[in-house]
Structure formats: C-alpha cells, structure tokens
Structure 1
C-alpha cells in the first residue's frame, strides 16, 4: 500500500493508486474484503477516492443497516450477536448486569408509581371472588368477614344486576367461601334450582318442595320446636344459670310465628288484609288446640285442624271476636272460615295442607330449599312458599342462637341468601312487603349474614302503594353494602335518592349493561357480554368510591359447570359449531 499512500500526498494522483483504490472499493462492496482501519492512511485514501467518484460513504451505508449497534463510520453488514456482546469492529463484550432491587408495597402506599397511578381499595379480606377490574389485583369479599373487620356496619348486602350477567355466580362463590369459613349458608327458596348442585357437592342438605315433591306445614315449630324440647329437658341447668325464663319466651316466639305465618298465607290468598278480630280468633284457636292436649309444639296441628277449631267455636273463641252466642260467632268468623277453606282447597293447599316433609338439618354444611318444581305462572304460590321457607330458615337460625345463649349448643354463624326477591315483592297480596321487612330486620347480635338479590330498582318501585315502595327501598338503606352489576342509566337515576353513584362509577356500571357487537361471520367460540362477572361494591351510601371487581372461575368450577345456566342449549350450540 505504500505506493498508494504516496500517490495521494502530491497534487497528481498516481494511476496505479487509482486502480488499487477502485479494486479495493469493489471488493468491499462485494463483501470479499473489509473496511480498512478507521484512522489508517488506506481508509483516508479510500474515502477521498469515493468522494471523487460520487460514491456514498460507508458511514451513510452502515447507518441504515438492521440489527446490532452501528459506530461512527458504520459497516455494510450488521454485527453478529454473541453470548457476551457483538463481534466485530465497534462491538465488544457486555458484562453481566445485576437485577434491580424489588420492593413490595400496597397500592395505597405505592400510589403514583408506575403502573399504580391510582389507589386501588381492594381489601384482601374474605372469600376470593376474582380480581380488581382496573388493577388486576386479587379481590376478596363476603359480608361476615368485612363486618368482623369493621369495613361495613351491618353484615348484609343488596345485589342488583340485569339477568345473565353473573350475579348468581358471585353468590355461589360467597356460598362456597361461607362453608370454608365454617358458616352455614341457607338458600331459603331456590326458585330456579341454581344452588342445588353446589350444595350437593359441598355435602349440604337439599330440600325439594313443589307439586308431587314435598310439603311444608306453616304451623310446625321446626327447629324452634326442637330447641324448646332441649330447653325443657335441661330445665335444671337453666335454673342454675338464671335462664329458665327462656322456656316461656321460646313458647311465645313459636306461637307468634304460627300466627304470623297463617295470617300471611291467608292475606296472600285473599289479596286483602285480615281484620284484627280474625287474627285474634286464629291466635286463640291455636292456643286452645295445645291446651286440649291433642297437639303441642312438638306435634303441631295442620291448617285443617285450625279450621275445624274455628268452625266449632268455644267460649274463649266467642270472647276473642266479642260475639254473644254461637250464632253471632258463626256470622263473625264466616269470612275467616271461607278463607281457610279456599286456602286448603286451592293451589296453596297442595303445599301447606300436610305435615312438613323434611326439616332443616343444622348438622349439614349448607342448606338449600329447592322450589323450582312450583308452577312458574302461579305468582302467589311461589311468593307464599318463599315466604314460608324464609320464615322457617330464620326460625332455625334463632333456635341455634337460643341454644348457644343457654350454653346448650355451639355458637353457629349463618349466611341467609334471599334470591329472586322480586318474586315476593311482586305478589299482589296485601302486606307482603311488611312481611319481608319483618324477616330481614337483622341486627349485629344475630350472627347472620344476609344477601338479598333482585334484578333492578324497578322491582322495588312496582309495588301497589307508596308506603310499600319506601319500605322496599329501606332494604337498600339498611344493607351494609350494595353490589351493582350491569344496570342501565335509568336504574341508577331511580336509585339516586338511596344510593348515589359518582359520574365515573355510573359510566362504568352502564357500560357493563351494553350488548355484544354483531358478528359479520360465524366463528367457533360463543361471545360473552362485556359486563359478565363485573360488579361495583359500594360499602357506603355517600360518595365514597366503590370497588370494581371481575369474578374469575376456577378450574373446578369449570369442570363441574357450576355456573353454566345454558345447559338446555348445549345441543343447539353443538349443532351450530359453537364451543
């Protein structure tokens, strides 16, 4: 190369040098040779030759290459990546980089650091039901755990959501968690049979009521009658601890429940309220049936026995209705007797005219009263059966608490699930809202969590009187928390006076109620609604932000299809090639 180097020092370019530079440029271009060193004389001569002949310099060609880092003057081909760095000029070894230190913190304390740009109030307390809809962190919830931790003031929740968006799935998850926490969930009147399978898998008790299945005696004492027998057998112990008066209190409680349940059924069937003297006649008749010795709380009478007693009359019955003589008495109780006959011979009599088929068993892990066998079109029958089941369930809970207070049994905790609340509220019987109100007024000392489920706020407003509407809305006001799934904007406005939502929450909840985009072509997987499994947990009735959650199904839940409500359509989906 010395002749080449010498050729560029003078003002005249040596022809041999020109030929050598042209040959070197061609070899580099063809990849047969590499670029000379950056600071070598050959490189300077080659760059000068390229400028004279109008060729692009290597720096411009190398900068457009792909892969690997370029250097100041570049290469026509990308560098090769090795284990410890890039090979070739401008490359070099890359030493091992130590991993960054990791710190763990709550989203509240780490608020503002990427990716936690906002705080996510999702307490890790209770039953795992899914994830936070915004941050993806685990979401846990159940009313008894949140009440024990002081997050809510009342162990109850009111659930609102349009049909098909997964509210029953959320409740079944809460049921499963209650069993894991050694609580006893009671589904009082499962109108669609949605909780039968999960109850059976958990080793619980399933009681089926309906035409041809079973019966329920509204005059039966149930678990309260069993607890009364226990109290009587342990009278000496009760006297020792100063609680012998509990026997008389329990007898009065059972008698009151018998009267209340009978009056509720008669009013529902009559579609009007009973007169006060008619209620007195029922109370006196039930008391005299026990005093005669033929019946007791352990051997309760039937409604037909009550009818016979009222029809026969007695001196005490005459005084109860303030009748002078048998003839005036018969005229006074004629309407009541007619209502009892109609109750026994009508649709309600098929369920309530016989002794209770199966009583609630508190030794089971869970209890489900399946009333899916009832006639769907008979609204009054469904409402009556549901009301009777709820009364029996709450009586069972009171019996367990009574024995625990008297040191005759363990302290039990319950989760009462009142699903399809609109079925009872929509019945046209007088006073049905008041009856439900009496059943649902739980206090903190009951040891019972309560879940009330319905579709929309319209269910609470479609009642016969303004008083009933206010009482029904009181269900929401007294609940420790409200869980809202997908709801239209009109429903949020309807509930604004008892449950205000912020603008952001309202947009989120209404977005969950929107439909599925229409497909332009057939595909293999069935689409899911955007709002399926999404809920807003509101723990306060003021402007405190809610917790948006997304329920997540486990492998076991998918395997047993615990939440599949489209079983009837499986063959249709298979025919259409839908998974």
Structure 2
C-alpha cells in the first residue's frame, strides 16, 4: 500500500496509532481490514442512530464495512456502555424489520403452546374457563375442575350478595345424591346457628340426621302421633310468655314497654285465630275436593264458633286448645251470632244451611282422618331443638286426601313456629333466629291436593321477609307440569324463576331443553349435565369392583338465570358422615350390595356359606 494517511484503529485492537501503515495492515485480522478506509464508522453509526443519516445499503462497500465494524465490537460512540447492538430495537421498513430474521412473513406460524400446573403458571391470563368457587358458608365439596373447596349455602350467598333471596331449587334424577347434598347443607345450617325444619319428611330421609344432632322428630301417620289443627302451637306458647312479660313490665312501671307488648299480643292473637280458621277451611276443602270450596258464610261461621270457644270463662285456652269435635258440637248447637252469620232466623233453616259443613267436619273427626286430627297434638314443636323433622313416611301413599291434609297441617304448624320465634325476638325475649325450610320430593308436596301450590308459593315469595330460607327439591321440571290445573302449573314453574340459586345434577337432554325458558345453559354446561345422567361404565362380569354412576354427587350451581357460567362441584363426605351412614338411603339393599350373588343365594337357602 502507498497511502500516506494513518488508519483509524479501535482501542480494543491493541495497536499503536504511530505504527506504519504496512505493519498495521499485517497485524489486522482479515475480517477487520475493511476498517482501513476513508470512512469513520463510529461517527456514521452515531449519525444513523440519531436519524441524521440513512442506513447504507447492505451490499455496498460502506454497508459491508459498517456491518463488520459492528460485528467486531463497534459502538455508536467510543465508550463501551449500555446494551449491545443486537439488543437494540430494529428499524421497520416497507419490507419488514431490518436485521437478522427481518423481512416479510409469507405465513403466520402457529403459536407455541405450553402445559403446566396451576401452581406453576398461577396468575397467567387468559384462562379458558371460569373457575370461581365462593367459600361463603357451608362447604359441601370441591370444584370439579380445579379441586378447590366450594360452599353451597343459601343464607351465606344471600349475605354476600351472590343471590337476591335465600332460596334454592334442586333438580336431579333419582339416585344421584340430591338428598345427600341437602343433608350437608342442613348440617352446616345447624353449625351456623340456624334451625332446619323438614315439615313433612315423606321418605324419612332426614330422621337419622335429626336424631344424630339431638333434634326433634315428630311422627305422624297410622299408628303414630296426633295433630290438632286448632292448637295454637308454639305461637300460642309465645303469646303466653309475652303476657307474663307484660305483667312484669306493668309492675315495674314501664308503660312504654307494656304498650309495645300489648300491640304484639293483639297481633299474635289475631294471627292465631286466622291460622286456626284457615287450617279448618283448608281441611274442609280437601274433603270437598270434587265439589266446591268453602263458602263465605261457612268461613265466618267457623270463626264465630272459635271465638265463642275461647270466650271469657271458657275452659279452653292456648295451653288447653279445643278439638275438632268441640268445634263440631259448638256449630251444631248454634247461637244467635251463628244464625246471623248464616242469615237464618229459624233452627230448621240454620241446620239445613250448615248440613254440608257438618258433613265435612264429621269426616275429619272419624275414619282415617280422625286417627290423626281427632285428638290433641302428641308432641308440640320445640323452638329450642337444633333441627325439627315431621316424619309422615308411615302415611298410606295411595290416600292422597289424607296425605294432603297432613302436609297442610304440618306446614301450618311449622310456619307458626317461625312466626313464634320472630314474635319473641320482637318482644326482646329471645334473639333473632333464622330457619331453613326443606321441601324434599316437591312433586309429592304440591301434588298432594288443592292449596299446597298456593302454600308453597306464599312461602317462596315471603321467605326473605320472614327470615327463612327455602330448599325445594324435585327430580325434573316435568314434575311441575303434572298438576291438575293450568293455574297451578304456571304458579309452580315460577318457583324456579324466584329461586335465588338453582342446583342441577344429572338431567336428560330433553329436560335441559325444557328448562331453557327458565334457566340458561351454555353448550358446555348442557353437555356436562346430561353426561351426569348416565350410569356406571359397563364392565366384564368377572370383575366385582363396584363402580358408582358417573354423575353421583356432581352438581352445577347456577346463581344467575342468564348465560353466566355455573360452578360444577363434586360433593365430598367427611369421615363422620361415612361412619354414621347418615347419607345411606339404600339401607334395604345393603345385604344384596355387600353379599353379591353368592351371599344372596345363601340368604335364600339359609346356609350362609356357598
């Protein structure tokens, strides 16, 4: 080379700038000899970075030299500071980003998929499904997807504003764990200080639980106890207690409290009298199921007769109530007030007017109905019991009139207990209590006779005001369509609409479609619920390992009637529940299930060993 200028060498090359050109060229690596030029690449890089000059074309001498200068460790300035050049952002052009891997993409590659546990990637978004699992109140099982603990508690959900009123409607095919779920909820209610009431346990599924927790079990039916429709029950006991408190307040000179208690006593006495009249009228309507309802003058006649039975100087009181035969005798004897109620002036006209009413009352104090309603209540409901169950499983299932009459009376007595508790709380004699009413086998309850649909409808509308939660359990929505009148069917379908939450177990495909008007299922939920309706998977005859049905204990909690995803859960039993067998509703099949074909044959032959 014959050039006379001195080369510009980078300090990291380790060369002295005073050395001759030929020596410098020999010492430079072959890939760095492009630095020997009349271009100051450091200054060029700084101008490019500042936007004062465009990037030279990659195939030109300057572009190749700049690239090799950069690859040799060059920077935009002389100092070696900041991030390396390959970490800086690249400039975008019409053909894509400049640099290695730049240019246009002819095809978009598939996204890279990673699989990890929820612990390893917690907090990453978005998730494919919702997995909310509120821990409000009683925990009944675990989330069927995430395994997280899930609660199902109408009162707690209502307290935390998850639902608008403390009520729940449960739908599921038989044998998939509906009653077990309800028992877990009732057990949790006891732990939270609430009082569960099963007013009419048709299949005796809650008797064992009540006895295990020290609750009260009242048995009604053939060979069982009696129920007096005219008894004031716990409401009458509360009135007597408030009267004693009123005497104490007057003796202490507390006029304000005495006046307040007087108002409560007046309201309670009116409630007791109204309930007594309604109870008798409801029973008379059941007797006249195929004829007509109670007439207006008959309602007035019953009220007048009850007023005379409780008149001053009478032997009857809330502690010693009259019986239906006493009411029968009073109406039969008549009085001036009763004749005026029937608008009759002669004894003959009066007796002709009351003939049909007396016939209905006579049926209530004799025959199958008389065995239950003709005597004093065997066991009044106990407000202090942790759980109350009225067992009516011994009733003849074919006698719909008797079953309807008993169910109506049970509900009147149970709801009187709720009102009695509220009355004592208003009087300041007891703390406010909450009650959880369970209606299992709803199809039998509302189909027992006229008046039952209206009674359940009343409770479902006023349970929030009355401080009571309501659990309604049935198999399918078709059960609500088997009622005798169209008005009852429409009313019954409203139970699902007004329920604060709906819990669905295994249901057939047609049932999901039928419920679409009241409850919305996403396609995934509909597929999941219908899959739970299948039985256990088929297996060979040689294998004796018992398998549970796929959907046993699986439920979908819907807290909204729109397309909001539900919460799929799997109920889990504790060791205590398993040891006590409180959820065993197949007790009559125990020998068959445990013994298999050999033991069953032994049981028939009496050998015990085959």
> Normalising to structure 2: TM-score of the pair?
0.74
Q: Distance in 2 between matches of 1:136 and 1:502?
A: 21
Taking the aligned partners of 2:460 and 2:129, their CA distance within structure 1 comes to 38
Which 5+ residue runs of structure 1 have no aligned equivalent? 1-101
Instruction: For 1:157-556, list aligned pairs within 5 A.
Output: 157-235=168-246, 237=249, 239-241=255-257, 242-243=259-260, 244-271=262-289, 272-291=292-311, 293-427=314-448, 429-556=449-576
Question: Is this contact kept in 1: 2:460–2:498, CA < 8 A?
Answer: no
Superposed displacement of residue 334, structure 1: 0.4
Are the counterparts in 2 of residues 426 and 459 from structure 1 also a CA contact under 8 Å? no
1:138 deviates by 0.9
Q: Is the 8 A contact 2:207 2:217 kept in 1?
A: yes
Deviations 1:19-60 (Å, cap 9, x if unpaired)?
xxxxxxxxxxxxxxxxxxxxxxxxxxxxxxxxxxxxxxxxxx
CA RMSD of aligned residues (A): 2.2
Matching residue of 2:14: none
User: Could you tell me whether the CA contact under 8 Å between 1:524 and 1:577 is conserved in 2?
Assistant: no
Instruction: State how far apart, in whole Å, the 1-side matches of 2:328 and 2:129 are.
Output: 66
Structure 2 distance, partners of 1:264, 1:239, is 40
Name the residue aligned to 1:149.
Answer: 160
For residues 331 and 297 of structure 1, the distance between their equivalents in structure 2, rounded to whole angstroms, comes to 32
Out of 383-392 and 398-407, give the one that drifted further.
Answer: 383-392
Q: For residues 473 and 436 of structure 1, what CA distance do their matches in structure 2 show?
A: 12
- Find the residue that maps to 2:354 and give its secondary structure: helix
Secondary structure of 1:267's match?
helix
In 2, Cα distance between the equivalents of 1:439 and 1:327? 43
SS of 1:210 mapped into structure 2: coil
Aligned pair count reads: 473
Contact 1:390 1:439 in 2 (8 A): no
How far residue 167 of structure 1 moved from its aligned partner, in angstroms, is 0.4
Deviation at 1:537, TM superposition (A): 1.1
Q: Which residue of 2 aligns with 1:99?
A: none
2:232 and 2:321 in contact (8 A); partners too: yes
Residues in 2 aligned to 1:322 and 1:111: alpha-carbon distance in whole angstroms: 79
Equivalent residue, structure 2, for 1:74: none
The offset of 1:462, in angstroms, is 0.9
Q: Partners in 1 of 2:487 and 2:183 — Cα distance?
A: 33
Whether the 8 Å CA contact 1:144–1:155 is kept in 2: the answer is yes
Mapped partners of 1:369, 1:106: distance in 2:
52
Match of 1:44 in 2: none
Q: Is the 8 A contact 2:227 2:377 kept in 1?
A: yes
CA change 1:131–1:224 in 2 (3 A) is: same
Distance in 1 (alpha carbons) for counterparts of 2:328 and 2:255: 38
Extract unaligned runs of 5+ from structure 2: 1-116, 600-610
SS in 2 for 1:234: helix
Name the TM-score, length of structure 1 as normaliser.
0.78
Distance 2:463 2:388 in 1: 22
Which protein shows a greater Rg? 2
**What is the Cα deviation at residue 337 of structure 1?**
0.5
Structure 2: distance between partners of 1:287 and 1:494: 50
Deviation at 1:438, TM superposition (A): 2.6
Q: How does 1:561-572 map to 2 (within 5 A)?
A: 561-572=581-592
Return the alpha-carbon distance in structure 2 between the equivalents of residues 522 and 198 of structure 1: 37
Contact persistence 1:123–1:140 (CA under 8 A): yes
Q: In terms of mean alpha carbon deviation, does 459-468 or 166-175 score higher?
A: 459-468
How far off is 1:336 after superposition?
0.7
Q: CA deviation at 1:343?
A: 2.1
Q: CA distance change for structure 1 residues 339 and 355 in 2, over 3 Å: closer, same or farther?
A: same
Tell me if the contact between 1:215 and 1:352 (Cα under 8 Å) persists in the aligned partners.
Answer: yes
- Runs of 4 or more, structure 1, over 6 Å off, are 102-107
How far off is 1:111 after superposition? 4.8
